[in-house]
C-alpha cells in the first residue's frame, strides 16, 4: 500500500518559505532615498517574508539607471522613502503563498516592469508593461539597491545560470528598451538605422542593430569615438562636432529609424530632417520637451515615438538574443557601500558604460 502523503500546493509553498527562512538574516542593508532630492542613505531594514504571489530574491547585482534620478526627484509621482533599482539579478530565497512557477535557488531578474493586474485593456493585448494598474520596481515598490528585494511573481524574469549576472543586469532595462523597441518597429534588414549617442543605451543599441541586420550609423561627438563605434558594429560614423548628421543621413537616402539615446534635446530636435520616407524618430532618452519640425513629419509621413521597456517574456527574449549574438554590456562594478559613488558616476557620465552594484563585495 502506498502511504506517501502529498501536501497541498499552499502548504508546500509555506514549507518551502519556512525552510529558506532558517538561513535568512533578520535584517539586510538597502540604499534609500528618504525624501525628494536627498542623497542615498544605507539603512538596515527588517527582512519580511514574501507576501502572497511575491518572491523574495537575494540580490547579486543591480544596475544603476538614469531613470533612478527621476525617482530621486519624485518625477514619476513616486513616494518616499524608496529603494531605487530596476536592473536586478539574484537568487530566489523564499516564495510566498500561491507562487508555483518559482523555486528557491533559481536565478531570476527584476526589470522595470514590476507587476500587472492582467485585467485591463493593455494586459488583454499582452502589453503588460503598460498596465493601467502596473507596478514598477524601484519606483512604486522598493527596488534592487539592496541585499534583498521582494518581486511580484508575474513580473519575475528567468535568467540563465551561465550568463554573467553583473553584465546582464543592465539588459533588464537599457538592453530590453533598445532591443524591444527596435524589433517592434519592424524595420527591414539592410535599411539605415542611426544611433544617436554611444553611452549606456547607445553602445548596446549599436550592437543590437548590427546583429539585427541593419546598416548602422553611429552619431556622436569627437573623432576618438570612431574606432569604438566600428568595433561595436557600426558601418558608418558621423562626428556631430564636425559634420551635420542630417546632411550625412540624407546623403545615405535617409534613415528608416533614428534611435535617440543621449538626453540632449538640442541634438535630437533637428534629426527628423535625417529621416527617410516613413521613417521613425525613436526617443528613448528622457530629456523633457523636444522641439520637432512638423513639416518633416508631414512631407515624409514620418513619426516620433517612444517605447516603455518590456515585460518578463520580452526580457527573457532579450537575454537570449544578447547571449546568442554575444552582445557585450560594458560595466563598472561598485559595492553597495559605494552606492553614492556609483550613482554619481552615472549622473556625470564618467562611467563606462553602466554602473552595477555588486552585493557580495
Task: Please report, for the domain that includes residue 252, its CATH number.
Answer: 3.40.50.720
137 shares its domain with 18: yes
Q: What is the pLDDT of residue 2?
A: 37
Domain that holds residue 158: 9-169+331-358
Q: What is the pLDDT of residue 287?
A: 86
252 shares its domain with 116: no
Cβ-contact 55, 92 below 8 angstroms: yes
> How many C-beta neighbours within 10 Å does residue 213 have?
13
Q: What is the pLDDT of residue 225?
A: 96
Count the domains in the chain: 2
Closest CA to 47 of 34, 39, 57, 62: 57
Whole-structure pTM over 0.85, yes or no? yes
Whether omega before 52 lies within 30 degrees of 0, making that bond cis, reads no
32 shares its domain with 159: yes
What CATH number should be reported for the domain holding residue 27?
Answer: 3.90.180.10
With respect to residue 141, please indicate whether it lies within any of the assigned structural domains: yes
Q: Which residues contact 110 (CB under 8 A, 6 or more apart)?
A: 57, 86, 88, 89, 90, 137, 143, 144, 149, 151, 155, 156, 157, 172
Last residue of one domain, picked from the residues 305, 321, 350: 305
14 shares its domain with 87: yes
With respect to residue 133, please indicate whether it lies within any of the assigned structural domains: yes
Q: In whole angstroms, give the CA distance from residue 215 to residue 302.
A: 19
Beta bridge partners of 2: none
Q: What is the pLDDT of residue 23?
A: 86
With respect to residue 300, please indicate whether it lies within any of the assigned structural domains: yes
Q: What is the pLDDT of residue 17?
A: 47
With respect to residue 317, please indicate whether it lies within any of the assigned structural domains: no
24 shares its domain with 164: yes
With respect to residue 318, please indicate whether it lies within any of the assigned structural domains: no
109 shares its domain with 188: no
Q: In whole angstroms, give the CA distance from residue 138 to residue 173.
A: 12
Q: Which residues contact 130 (CB under 8 A, 6 or more apart)?
A: 122, 308
With respect to residue 320, please indicate whether it lies within any of the assigned structural domains: no
229 shares its domain with 276: yes
CA dist 142 → 32, 50, 82, 107, 238 (Å): 9, 13, 6, 19, 41
What DSSP string runs through 75-134? TTS--SSB-----EEEEEEEE-TT--S--TT-EEEE-SEEE--S-SHHHHTT-GGG-TT-
Q: Which three cell numbers stand for residue 62?
A: 543591480
279 shares its domain with 346: no
CA dist 352 → 107, 195, 315, 348 (Å): 26, 17, 23, 11
Pairing assessment for the beta strands 275-283 and 215-220 based on DSSP bridges: unpaired
149 shares its domain with 214: no
How confident is the prediction along the chain (361 residues), in pLDDT tens digits per residue?
A: 333 344 454 555 554 444 444 489 999 999 999 999 999 999 999 999 999 999 999 999 999 999 999 999 999 999 999 999 999 999 999 999 999 999 999 999 999 999 999 999 999 999 999 999 999 999 999 999 999 999 999 999 999 999 999 999 999 999 999 999 999 999 999 999 999 999 999 999 999 999 999 999 999 999 999 999 999 999 999 999 999 999 999 999 999 999 999 999 999 999 999 999 999 999 999 888 999 999 999 999 999 999 999 999 999 999 999 999 999 999 999 999 999 999 999 999 899 999 999 998 6
137 shares its domain with 232: no
Beta bridge partners of 110: 88
148 shares its domain with 229: no
With respect to residue 322, please indicate whether it lies within any of the assigned structural domains: no
295 shares its domain with 192: yes
Q: What is the pLDDT of residue 3?
A: 36
Q: In whole angstroms, give the CA distance from residue 315 to residue 110.
A: 10
For residue 98, how far is the Cα from the chain centroid? 27
Q: What is the pLDDT of residue 14?
A: 52
With respect to residue 195, please indicate whether it lies within any of the assigned structural domains: yes
Amino acid at each position: 500500500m502506498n502511504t506517501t502523503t502529498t501536501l497541498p500546493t499552499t502548504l508546500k509553498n509555506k514549507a518551502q518559505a519556512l525552510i529558506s527562512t532558517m538561513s535568512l538574516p533578520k535584517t539586510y542593508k538597502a540604499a534609500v532615498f528618504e525624501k525628494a532630492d536627498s542623497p542615498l542613505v544605507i539603512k538596515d531594514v527588517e527582512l519580511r517574508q514574501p507576501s502572497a504571489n511575491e518572491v523574495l530574491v537575494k540580490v547579486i547585482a543591480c544596475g544603476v539607471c538614469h531613470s533612478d534620478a527621476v525617482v530621486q526627484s519624485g518625477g514619476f509621482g513616486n513616494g518616499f522613502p524608496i529603494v531605487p533599482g530596476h536592473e536586478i539579478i539574484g537568487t530566489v530565497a523564499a516564495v510566498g503563498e500561491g507562487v508555483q512557477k518559482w523555486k528557491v535557488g533559481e536565478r531570476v531578474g527584476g526589470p522595470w516592469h514590476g507587476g500587472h493586474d492582467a485585467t485591463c485593456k493593455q494586459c488583454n493585448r499582452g502589453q503588460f508593461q503598460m498596465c493601467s494598474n502596473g507596478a514598477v520596481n524601484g519606483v512604486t515598490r522598493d527596488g534592487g539597491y539592496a541585499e534583498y528585494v521582494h518581486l511580484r511573481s508575474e513580473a519575475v524574469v528567468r535568467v540563465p545560470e551561465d550568463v554573467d549576472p553583473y553584465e546582464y543586469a543592465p539588459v533588464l532595462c537599457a538592453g530590453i528598451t533598445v532591443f524591444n523597441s527596435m524589433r517592434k518597429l519592424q524595420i527591414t534588414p539592410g535599411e539605415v538605422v542611426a544611433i544617436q549617442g554611444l553611452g549606456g543605451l547607445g553602445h548596446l543599441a549599436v550592437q543590437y542593430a548590427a546583429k539585427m541586420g541593419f546598416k548602422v550609423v553611429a552619431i556622436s561627438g569627437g573623432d576618438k569615438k570612431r574606432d569604438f563605434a566600428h568595433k561595436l558594429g557600426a558601418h558608418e560614423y558621423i562626428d556631430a562636432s564636425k559634420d551635420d548628421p542630417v546632411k550625412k543621413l540624407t546623403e545615405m537616402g535617409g534613415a528608416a529609424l533614428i534611435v535617440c539615446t543621449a538626453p540632449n534635446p538640442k541634438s535630437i530636435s533637428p534629426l527628423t530632417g535625417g529621416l527617410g520616407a516613413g521613417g521613425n524618430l525613436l526617443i528613448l532618452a528622457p530629456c523633457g520637451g523636444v522641439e520637432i519640425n512638423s513639416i518633416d513629419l508631414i512631407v515624409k509621413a514620418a513619426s516620433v515615438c517612444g517605447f516603455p521597456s518590456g515585460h518578463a517574456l520580452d526580457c527573457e527574449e532579450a537575454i537570449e538574443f544578447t547571449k546568442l549574438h554575444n552582445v557585450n554590456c560594458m560595466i563598472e562594478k561598485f559595492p553597495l557601500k559605494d552606492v553614492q559613488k556609483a550613482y554619481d558616476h552615472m549622473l556625470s557620465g564618467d562611467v563606462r558604460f553602466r554602473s552595477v552594484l555588486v552585493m557580495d563585495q
